[in-house]
Amino acid sequence: MKIGTRTFDTAKARWTGVGPYFAMFPAEFCDHVVRKYTRQGDLVLDPFAGRGTAVFSAASNNRRAIGIELNPVGWLYGKTKLHPAPEKRIVQRLLDLGTRSEDYIDHSRNLPKFFFRCFHKNVRTFLLAARNELDWEHDFADRTLMAFILINLHGKRHDSLSNQMRQTKAMAPKYALRWWAERGLRPPKIDPIQYILKKIRWRYAKGAPTYGDSDFVLGDSSEILPDVKDKAPWNGAALLFTSPPYFGITNYHYDQWLRLWMLGGAPTDAVISKKYTGKFANRSEYEQLLNIVFEAAAPRMSKRSTIYVRTDRRQPTYHLTVAALKAAFPKHHLSRKITPYKTQTQTALFGHFAPKFGEVDLIMTRS
């Protein structure tokens, strides 16, 4: 696949883009970094893995990879890409849900008004059946099917299960209701079973990759990495390849509130106040997160490892990231590669059109 093109003639090409998510690494960029700084069989570690693009890239290039992600939406995407269930099992599970949807008619009547304007009635009952019966945390067939549902949960009308919304970010209910009302938009009448079945058929048409030597872990890197200690699969990484959340920019949990509802969360966009689930607007907490994670990652790296971190050029993100990296890897030499924004940024999507300074790649190596 050439850089800048969008062809889907291989299994890797069809699966690498699984999961709409903000601040995603471009797949071609990940392939370039992985191939340049590692060899086949090397271990790649990503402690802020998002939807797992770097992990998937490493695994598909015959490396071992371990990713850690706090947000269950991103984790579900990444885990599914590494270990998708067989197509027949997913299709059968989908058909099973179709027979169970009618059991949720009464339940669907108790949903907030947003859900009535967002989804057609047969979609609402299907979603409730999936939400309550798919064991996405433990069963890989259920997880794979849930990934297909989350991908298509909201987006363009008639190309998703919802009324008009962005695919990457769920709108606030009050805003969405007003926006739809002003334009006279109603939820599209869609057969959710046939719609998801079509998406499954397309995704599997070129096969389904599976990478048994790689893993994607759900949890907080600041807690998981310090507790790893001497577990063999985590040691001797040749490349730390990641992009931590930027200070005060995006609340990934708020932006994914509707998908988090599908995973068992509340039917509301109320801000989550749990640790590391906000906009990372507290400087001391943000600094602590970076220091803990990079310090805990350092013992997992090989002596000749490369550290490759993409971050924001704005302050204090840039300053705190550089300081944390230098403290964790004092024997590595730091170089910088400026990466200007070439497309519309996520903040512009939210109405922030002030000049952007772009991103910077921090590359640390040992001679």
Q: Which two tokens stand for residue 106?
A: 């009464």
pLDDT of residue 1: 35
Q: pLDDT tens across 290-307, in order?
A: 999 999 999 999 999 999
Structure confidence by residue, pLDDT tens digits, 4-52: 445 788 999 999 989 887 767 889 999 999 999 999 999 999 999 999 9
CATH class for the domain made up of 11-82+209-245+280-365 = alpha beta
- Domain limits of the chain? 11-82+209-245+280-365, 87-204
State the pLDDT confidence band at 270, using cuts at 50, 70 and 90.
confident
Measure CA of the first residue to CA of the last residue in the chain; give whole Å. 33
Q: How would you class 212 by CB atoms within 10 Å of its CB: exposed for 0-12, middle for 13-18, buried for 19 or more?
A: exposed
Q: What is the pLDDT of residue 348?
A: 45
Which residues sit opposite 239 in a β-bridge? 44, 306
> CB neighbours of 31 closer than 8 A, spacing ≥ 6?
57, 61
Q: Residue 231: its pLDDT value, please? A: 65
Global pTM value: 0.91
pLDDT of 340 higher than 90: no
Q: How far apart are CA 133 and CA 192, in angstroms?
A: 16
Cβ atoms of residues 12 and 209 within 8 Å: yes
Dist. CA 240–CA 45, nearest whole Å: 5
pLDDT at 357: 60
